[in-house]
Amino acid sequence: MKKEKVKKRKKSKKWLIIILGIIFFFIIIYFGIYLYARMQPKLPITGANGYHLYDINGDVYTASSNENVSLKDISKHLINATIAVEDKNFYKHHGFDFLRIIKAMFVNVKSGENLQGASTITQQYSKNLFLDFDKTWDRKIKEAWITIRLESHYSKDEILEGYLNTINYGGIFGIENASKYYFNKSAKNLTLAEASMLAGIPKNPSKYSPLIDEESAKSRQRIILNAMVKNGYITQSKADNAYNTELNYEKSEEEANLKMMMYYQDAVMDELNSIKTIPSSFLETGGLKIYTNLDMKAQKALEDSANKNITNPDIQMAGVVMDPQTGKVLALSGGRDYNKSQYNRATMAKRQVGSTIKPFLYYSALENGFTPSTTFTSEKTTFSFSGNKTYTPKNYNDEYANGPISLAAAISYSDNIYAVKTHLFLGDSALPDILRRVGIEEELNTLPSLALGAEEINMMDMMAAYSALANEGYKVKPYFISKVTDMEGNVLYEYKPNLENVLNKNTVYVLNELLTTTYAKEFQDYNTPTCLSIAPKMTHKYAIKSGTTNTDNLIFGYNKNLVVGMWTGYDDNKDVSSKDSSNLKNTWVDVMETYLAGKTDEETWYETPKNVVGVAIDPISGKAATNGSKAKVLYYIKGTEPTENKVSLDEAIPTVKLEE
């Protein structure tokens, strides 16, 4: 028995010696690396972690480091709160808290989850010196090396100061910016209550910002205050008083204007991260100057119009304003309020696009011999297919002509029966082919419902597609960044538009004129044009198409100067209402009219091509107008103008079976 105990002691001693030897070996290696780092040039971190965003006029509108402050100008409460919760041994370690790492590994392995992190403030600061936070081994090694170099050349106070000037406080970078944003005061004047609230945000900005989720933010504040008590910075009584202090968030007027513009900034940074020629580390550039296409006039028009017209406080929205000639994104909103949700519905979401897909179907139709006068019968219809499958679409409000209507009328009323018949007549590959030509790469189901926009497509893709109509046939790519330079002005990247002609200019002109029927009073008959309600607000000529599904409202419209697309709906796909649709249309027209104020139709509309002719027609029948009929001038490729009698194409669709 004694021999077994002696053997166990010897074995334990042996393993202890091995473990201590391994630890000693790694300590020697670490200090060897530390000494080597000490011999390297000092990292030029002053300003190296910053970027400046410029608008389309060359004016700075956001800078990550425009409000750097020294440590002595930051509230001691904020400094203590940050150290207590992020890295309590900050002033004791040399960049890595090995005991904390071992503890975190033990907890995570035992639980099978990643419950604890062990990054020190220096490690987090080194991470902030990169444009993105890739979790590759290559990136981790680079961050570790920068951590060692920071610790070998800079004092703890210098590192902490740099960290506090770069950290993300919910889309606001740096403690001075954050202090002014949340409390409209300098960082040196933060109270314990305010400081402990701000110190909690960086852990998870989308969760712990008090402007997004105050309950979670208060829970995080309690954790921070308890950590401050535990580490001897404050008493429990002071912690309780701070926790129970009611905080007033008094954003400055300037910062309050970022309510939607932050979505644009996020889109800029996403695009920046995708540019291969930009170094991933700010240390390689000394910071960046990013010249964007943001037009403050367009952004203000978008935000003001949305705030004025979208009265339902629960519904979400997305809006994009673009220059169709170049693809420049002039303004963008990915939601109602960035402080409440950072999810960018304009760049990230895919939604059913409804009838806003129809212009591309009708372009294909015009390309394949249709004219504005081509007719199909609009009536309740069941489409029958092989395998005893049927499809019974309905028009909005169940309104039908119960007779032939022209393509022009079908566009004006957004007639679903006409659209499905057109889709079947052309063949199921025609619409996807056109969509691919104008830049929509989405794999689309070719069922008949595609003609009614039952498929989900991202708004930016739809903006690119509509731009091809607005610029008379050229495929463009929406982009946010025109140029990037280092702080010395050396160009690192410059966008070069590559316009590709994909549509026929004459055909596009005919379609653009057809899309003005959506608000033409001449079409008020058994039905009403879909956008007639906003016609009184228009002082310019526009091509417009709206769309409505059970869960989505959309509208896209343009002239040669501007294309604007907008969506409203709910993130959880609740049904939308007709009032929501009306509000969206008013938002859209207000954006267009505000931005284009002072311009004439000669400046904003298209010159009629030589091969196109305008003819007065009867809106519903599509026949040449007579003295006794309504008349609307529509445009035709020369030689396709309407004769007295136009033949309906209904008989050319053998798959149709009319309801009895």
| Closest C-alpha to 341, from 422, 447, 266, 247 | 266
pTM given for the model: 0.81
Hey, what amino acid is at 292? T
Residues 352 and 494 in one domain: yes
For 193-237, write each residue's pLDDT tens digit: 999 999 999 988 878 888 888 899 999 999 999 999 999 999 999
Strand partners, 550: none
What is the pLDDT at residue 153? 78
Using alpha carbons only, how large is the chain's radius of gyration in Å?
31
Q: Which two tokens stand for residue 640?
A: 């396709």
For residue 62, tell me if it sits in a domain: no
3-state secondary structure of 227: helix
> Of residues 64, 67, 75, 86, which has the active-site annotation?
86
Has 86 been annotated as catalytic?
yes
Hey, what amino acid is at 62? T
Residue 586 to residue 243: CA distance in whole angstroms = 45
3-state helix, strand, coil in the chain (%, to 5): 45, 15, 40
For residue 199, tell me if it sits in a domain: yes
Residues 204 and 308 in one domain: no
Q: Which two tokens stand for residue 651?
A: 């008989």
Average pLDDT of span 376-404: 91
User: What DSSP string describes 113-172?
Assistant: S-------HHHHHHHHTBSS----HHHHHHHHHHHHHHHHHS-HHHHHHHHHTT-BSSS-
For 474-509, write each residue's pLDDT tens digit: 999 999 999 999 888 889 999 998 899 999 999 999
Residues 310 and 457 in one domain: yes
What is the pLDDT at residue 279? 76
Residue after which a domain boundary falls, among 256, 283, 309:
256
Residues 411 and 469 in one domain: yes
Residues 465 and 513 in one domain: yes
For residue 337, tell me if it sits in a domain: yes
Residues 362 and 455 in one domain: yes
Range scoring the smallest mean pLDDT among 3-17, 18-32, 203-217, 511-525:
3-17
User: What DSSP string describes 9-21?
Assistant: HHHHHHHHHHHHH
Residues 331 and 414 in one domain: yes
Q: Which of the pair, 23 or 60, is modelled with greater confidence?
A: 60
Q: Look up the CATH number of the domain holding residue 139.
A: 1.10.3810.10
In sign, the C-alpha dihedral spanning 58, 62, 65, 70 is positive
Residues 306 and 246 in one domain: no
Has 70 been annotated as catalytic?
no
Domain that includes residue 75, residue range: 70-256
What is the pLDDT at residue 554? 98
Query: pLDDT category, 625, cuts 50, 70, 90?
Result: confident
Residues 411 and 480 in one domain: yes
Residue after which a domain boundary falls, among 224, 256, 288:
256
Average pLDDT of span 499-526: 96
Q: Look up the CATH number of the domain holding residue 499.
A: 3.40.710.10
33: number of Cβ within 10 Å: 15
For residue 10, tell me if it sits in a domain: yes
Residues 380-384: contacts with CB under 8 Å, at least 24 apart:
380/417, 380/659, 381/417, 381/420, 381/421, 381/656, 381/658, 381/659, 382/657, 382/658, 382/659, 383/420, 383/424, 383/448, 383/655, 383/656, 383/657, 384/655, 384/656, 384/657
The separation between the first and the last C-alpha atoms of the chain, rounded to the nearest angstrom, is 98
For residue 515, tell me if it sits in a domain: yes
Query: pLDDT category, 114, cuts 50, 70, 90?
Result: very low
For the chain, what is the mean pLDDT? 86
Buried b (16+ CB within 10 A) or exposed e, 265-300: bbbbbebbeeeeebebbbbebbbbbbbbbbbbbbbb
For residue 52, tell me if it sits in a domain: no
Decide if 557 contacts 588 (C-beta within 8 A): yes
3-state secondary structure of 498: coil
Hey, what amino acid is at 588? W
Residue 654 is classified by DSSP as: T
For residue 512, tell me if it sits in a domain: yes
3-state secondary structure of 646: coil
For residue 64, tell me if it sits in a domain: no
Residues 488 and 582 in one domain: yes
What is the pLDDT at residue 591? 98
Query: pLDDT category, 88, cuts 50, 70, 90?
Result: confident
Residue after which a domain boundary falls, among 234, 256, 278:
256
Residues 78 and 134 in one domain: yes
> Of residues 119, 152, 355, 581, which has the active-site annotation?
355
Residue 311 to residue 305: CA distance in whole angstroms = 11
Q: How many structural domains comprise the chain? A: 3
Residues 438 and 345 in one domain: yes
Query: pLDDT category, 90, cuts 50, 70, 90?
Result: confident
Average pLDDT of span 61-89: 84
Task: Flag whether pLDDT at 128 surpasses 60.
Answer: yes
Range scoring the smallest mean pLDDT among 275-289, 417-431, 515-529, 612-626:
275-289
What is the pLDDT at residue 206? 78
